[in-house]
Structure 1
């Protein structure tokens, strides 16, 4: 077999290093939130309209999802901002008929909870990173502190 990865394996490795599902739900939430003010754009031009807040918060929710793909180490901060933006979007865009708000809360929570996985789960790598030697484990020595 060829030494290069297939496209599916490359995507799987890329996805494992990012908060994929949280970011995807945040982007979907932002699109749904943006849909409401986009359909009511004639009203948005009226003085005193708060639909521009819906455009801003929907775009912010979507931006947090995109940034979490690009900068996964900031997923906790981006998740908090995505939750705030999606909840506040109720005020300006009806929260995408609440569907966008619910998806934004779930996606933001998934961004907060995401922890990076190690790409290589090889036993050599694990034993190399583990401070407990294999000899200690085989002997049955108590490894927990008193």
Structure 2
């Protein structure tokens, strides 16, 4: 029961992209939080690292709890991870940058699963009676084509299966 609920929750959002973004943010954020002796040597250079790490963690959580915002969160995660390469200890010694770029790409590329549409049913025209000889036959209008069934879609960006 609990495992099936977890799987259902995980599959309805960009879980892996958010996880990689949270891990990247933690990696970038933790490195400047070294012992006090190392922090004094860094000076104010550690502040952007901590801020970028916190923002990446928030973007990863946004992808989990507000999947409709996954596009913006993915783009911002990728941009911040790239900026961390220059501004933050080589982006957490490249680990944070690579995880951030991977997570941002996964968040941006994720699409919600839409149930497959049922095949349209073939409609047959009703049988017409034979006209009486000598009576005028009224012109027949072509039957309107049936509209394809559309399932409601919960993604505001309009992703289709």
The TM-score with structure 1 as length reference comes to 0.75
Residues 1:27 and 2:22 aligned together: yes
Q: Quote how far apart the aligned CAs of 1:116 are.
A: 0.8
How many residue pairs get matched?
Answer: 122
Structure 1: any 5+ residue segments left out of the alignment? 1-5, 137-146
Bigger proportion of residues as helix? 1
Residues 1:52 and 2:52 aligned together: no
The residue aligned with 2:73 is: 78
The residue aligned with 1:140 is: none
Relative to 1, partners in 2 of residues 1:64 and 1:41: Cα closer, same or farther, differing over 3 Å?
farther
Give, in whole Å, the separation in 1 of the partners of 2:71 and 2:36: 33
Give, in whole Å, the separation in 1 of the partners of 2:2 and 2:42: 51
Structure 1: which 4+ aligned runs deviate by more than 2 Å? 40-49
Instruction: Note the 1:117-132 alignment, pairs <5 A.
Output: 117-118=113-114, 121=115, 126-127=117-118
Out of 92, 98, 110, the residue aligned to residue 102 of structure 1 is: 98
Give, in whole Å, the separation in 1 of the partners of 2:84 and 2:122: 57
**2:28/2:88 contact within 8 Å kept:** no
Residues 1:88 and 2:75 aligned together: no
The residue aligned with 1:135 is: 122
Q: Secondary structure at the match of 1:11?
A: helix
Structure 2: any 5+ residue segments left out of the alignment? 124-161
The TM-score with structure 2 as length reference comes to 0.68
